[in-house]
Amino acid sequence: MIRSLHAALALFFALPLLLVSLSGALLGFARESDRIINVDLVSAPFSSAPAQSLEALESVVRQRYPDRKVIEIHPAKTAFDSTVFVLQDSQNHMHEVFIHTQTAEIRGSRLATDSFYAQVHRFHTTLVLDDFGTWITRLAALGLLLTTLSGLILRRQRPQASLSARLHPLLGLTAAPVLLTIAASALFIAFYDTQSAWLHQIHTGELFAMPGRVLWVLASLAVPLLVYGGIASYRARINSSAENHKADNHHV
């Protein structure tokens, strides 16, 4: 019963789980990837000049964009990063303005939705299908939760003897704590529409700094392997059952 339920859940949610897990893994380091893709915008050339205050930088930005409202300020994390101002225009569009922290040179600007992180995040949360895609990703999170739980129950009920037969459940058991955390936090964020920072940090692993982010990405990458291994195991059982059935008929 549990085995059939586990297989049915895995097959039904396979495609959305693959899309959401892979985009989630990519999202884990999307901001770092954005630095590589848009190096001239995000990074700042080295300067020996002292860093200017946020008030001075904001004054420069306001002079350049007097018709826009400053919503957020993200100070440069290192001497080689630009300080980022998030501005809102009259049509409620968000823009990111990158300014050199030492020289106050405006490096450039872009729509906030044009960043690599924003594009991956949109795919991860909506599959670029708007409200319909949002419900698909919610179902994928529910599927991940149910599939992981049924897999844990199945492993307790039917421990496998051979190493090859144990690889799939072993990988699932190893990744289960993180996958359950990801799925539960995703459902809570989606259905309660919360913007709680700590909950988002739990969902992304950022609550545990860089080791957490890496572990969460690895767990996300384990999902495609689990899907493939589960389908392979299911097909092997079907073929084995068919061969046994043929053998029984032959003996009769």
pLDDT for 8-65, tens place per residue?
A: 888 899 999 999 999 999 999 999 999 899 999 999 999 999 999 999 999 999 999 9
What is the arithmetic mean of pLDDT over 68-85?
95
Question: Per this entry, what is the length of the chain?
Answer: 252
The Cα 128–Cα 132 span in angstroms is 9
User: Phi and psi (nearest 5°) for 153?
Assistant: -65, -40
- The model's pTM: 0.84
Give yes or no for residue 163 having a pLDDT over 60: no
Amino acid at the residue 22 = L
Give yes or no for residue 251 having a pLDDT over 80: no
Q: Under CATH, to which class is 39-113 assigned?
A: alpha beta
Domain ranges of the chain: 2-32+118-238, 39-113
What is the arithmetic mean of pLDDT over 196-220?
94
What is the arithmetic mean of pLDDT over 193-206?
88
- Tell me the average pLDDT of the chain: 90
Burial (0-12, 13-18, 19+ Cβ within 10 Å), 86: middle
